[in-house]
Amino acid sequence: MKKLQGRTWFVLLFILLLLGGTGFLMYSYVTEGGEWVAFKANSHLYSNGQMTTGSLTDRNGLVLYDGETDSYAQDEDIRTACLHAVGDEYGNIVTGGRVLFRGYMAAFHPLTGVGESGNTVALTIDAKINELAYQALDGQRGTVAVYNYETGEILCMVSSPTFDPYDSEEVLIAVNEGDERYDSVYLNRFLSSTFTPGSIFKIVTAAAAIEELDALDSFSFTCTGSMELDDGEITCPSAHGDLDLAGALEHSCNCAFGQLALELGGQRLMRYAQEAGLLSQLTFDGVTSARGSYSVTDKDLDLAWSGVGQYTNLVNPCSMMALMGAIAGEGKAAAPTLLHGVTSPSGLPAAIVGSDSHSIGWSEETCQTLKRLMRGNVTGHYGQQQFGDLPVCAKSGTAEVSSSEQPHAWFVGFVDDPEHPYAFVVMVEHGGWGSKTAGSIAAKVLTAIAETE
């Protein structure tokens, strides 16, 4: 009897395993089928190692890539501006839509398999806004991105240098020959690169100072234009005089933020950079963004410069934009996404789209304070006029990268308005003064987006 019972249990266990395995297979078949079909061994779906079925459009239905005719948008500037969102002919841009969304483009149905013609995948970007951002960059290297922090939709995403995808072959040859015009051209700088942040990092130092040092009420500092430390000096472009925390942020005073960094210490600054999401990777739509870095040092001069966004600090533009969204949302926002919708050849929705949420470790109150300070930066310093009626909260950065080249120009922030819930990042490599170069690009793109509504 005992023996029989043992065997019964064994059979029962075996049946359970079988049922579980079958269930898992069915689940995977329905959820991952598109990706299996997109497997490269299905060579009839590919040309040049890239899928040629289905199509990619922008959020308004403007065709950016049509697999059936293997053709791109008609307008050259739109093709060039949307290159990193769409991808090139050889799949060298691994974060392009043609690679990321090939599973959706293949029009896989769990019952009927792969359809004759593929699905239409709509990206969240607005191609016309991308074109405007590309033109505003005016041939300079860098990135411009804007997303809706309530829905997560990335409306604008441009990376430069770029090229017309119809020139994919010539560019591949030029890249292999080391042509400097195409330096890291296959990288989407927004998603896959990191840069010295310079003064935009003062937002992190300010958050730490508000929470740890009660600096909003108690901090006062007199800037004489430089601050002597044991191993060197911190400098400002000019003497800023008497400042509180709001004034130090508005004038972007290096000496004041160097002083705050010394009071906070490297460990705490690193924790606040971590809580801001700047030291981790964001994952969405199959993309993993590049990770920023902050190094703790025991040298006073390096610590002071690290609080000013220099030293060895690095940030990824996408993580920075998500931080701006999270400050606007007082600690929590939608995570970015590039997928607007998938439509089958018969016109029916073919996938569920939506974004996850993205939260940071700073308190609601700290975010509210930062909003107020960043709003003050615009009204008191950068100038509201360029943004029309949009209540923009922002911080500029002018990041020194070498003594022989112009600094990187940054402008990051958000519109604090439920009607226009946009967060943005603009970074121009060697673009010079942040608020001037990058700020004017942000103003053009934000006002254009507001006009499209």
Any idea which residue has 């673009």 for tokens?
431
Residue that is written with structure tokens 């569920």 in the block: 352
Q: What is the DSSP string of 196-265?
A: --GGGGHHHHHHHHHHHH-HHHH--EEE-SEEEETTEEEE-SS--EEE-HHHHHHTT-HHHHHHHHHHH-
Q: Cβ of residue 405: shortest distance to Zn ion, in angstroms?
A: 23
Q: How far is the CB of 371 from Zn ion (least distance, A)?
A: 23
Per-residue contact string for residues 416-445; x = within reach of Zn ion by CB under 5 A = ------------------------------
> Nearest to residue 317, comparing CAs of 82, 141, 78, 444?
141
Q: Does 223 sit near Zn ion (CB under 5 A)?
A: yes
Q: Is 369 helix (H, G, I), strand (E, B) or coil?
A: helix
Q: Which stretch binds Zn ion (CB under 5 A): 77-85, 153-161, 229-237, 262-270?
A: 229-237
86 binds Zn ion (CB under 5 A): no
Contact 290, 333 (CB under 8 A): no
Q: Work out how close the CB of 236 gets to Zn ion at its nearest, in angstroms, rounded to a whole number.
A: 3
Identified binder of Zn ion from the candidate list 84, 98, 189, 240, rule CB under 5 A: 240
Which listed residue (255, 278, 290, 301) binds Zn ion by CB under 5 A?
255
Using the minimum distance from each CB to Zn ion, give the nearer residue, 106 or 223.
Answer: 223
> Rounded to an integer, what distance in angstroms lies between the CA atom of residue 299 and that of residue 234?
13
Strand partners, 147: 154, 423
| Closer residue to Zn ion in complex, CB, 91/198 | 198
Q: How far is the CB of 202 from Zn ion (least distance, A)?
A: 12
What is the closest distance, in whole angstroms, from the C-beta atom of residue 197 to Zn ion in the complex?
18
Nearer to Zn ion, 52 or 199 (CB): 199
Map 27-65 to HEC letters: HHHHHHHHHHHCCCCCHHHEECCEECCCEEECCCCCEEE
Between 304 and 335, whose beta carbon lies closer to Zn ion? 304
Closest CB to Zn ion among residues 226, 447: 226
- How many CA within 13 A on the CB side of residue 400? 14
Residue 245 binds Zn ion, judged by CB under 5 A: no
CB of 224 or CB of 452, closer to Zn ion: 224
User: Interface with Zn ion includes 253 (CB under 5 A)?
Assistant: yes
Q: Which stretch binds Zn ion (CB under 5 A): 85-93, 248-256, 335-343, 405-413?
A: 248-256
Of 453, 380, 382, 366, whose CA–CA distance to 417 is shortest? Answer: 453
Closest contact distance (angstroms) between CB of 247 and Zn ion is: 10
Q: Which residues does residue 293 pair with via DSSP β-bridges, in sequence order?
A: 314
| Closest separation in Å from C-beta 235 to Zn ion | 8
Task: State the minimum distance, in angstroms, from the CB of residue 81 to Zn ion.
Answer: 38
The contacts of residue 10 (CB under 8 Å, 6+ apart) are: none
The reply on whether position 378 binds Zn ion by CB under 5 A is no
Cβ(120)–Cβ(342) below 8 Å: yes
Q: How far apart are CA 263 and CA 271, in angstroms?
A: 15
Tokens matching residue 289: 């963004």
Nearer to Zn ion, 257 or 422 (CB): 257
Sign, CA torsion 163/47/155/448: positive
Interacting span for Zn ion (CB under 5 A) from 58-66, 232-240, 325-333, 409-417: 232-240
Query: How many residues contact Zn ion, by CB under 5 A?
Result: 5
Token code pair at residue 189: 């700088």
**CB closer to Zn ion, 308 vs 415:** 308
Q: Which stretch binds Zn ion (CB under 5 A): 237-245, 316-324, 338-346, 397-405?
A: 237-245
For residue 201, the minimal CB distance to Zn ion (Å) is 16
Closer to Zn ion at the Cβ: 85 or 209?
209
185 binds Zn ion (CB under 5 A): no
Q: How far is the CB of 239 from Zn ion (least distance, A)?
A: 7
Specify the residue, 49 or 237, whose C-beta has the smaller distance to Zn ion: 237
C-beta of 253 vs 378, nearer to Zn ion: 253
Residue 424 to residue 411: CA distance in whole angstroms: 8
Closest Cα partner for 122 from 338, 337, 307, 295?
Answer: 338
CB of 131 to Zn ion, least distance (A): 39
Residue 236 makes contact with Zn ion by CB under 5 A: yes
The distance between the two most distant Cα atoms of the chain, rounded to a whole number of Å, is: 93
Residues found near Zn ion in the complex (CB under 5 A): 223, 236, 240, 253, 255
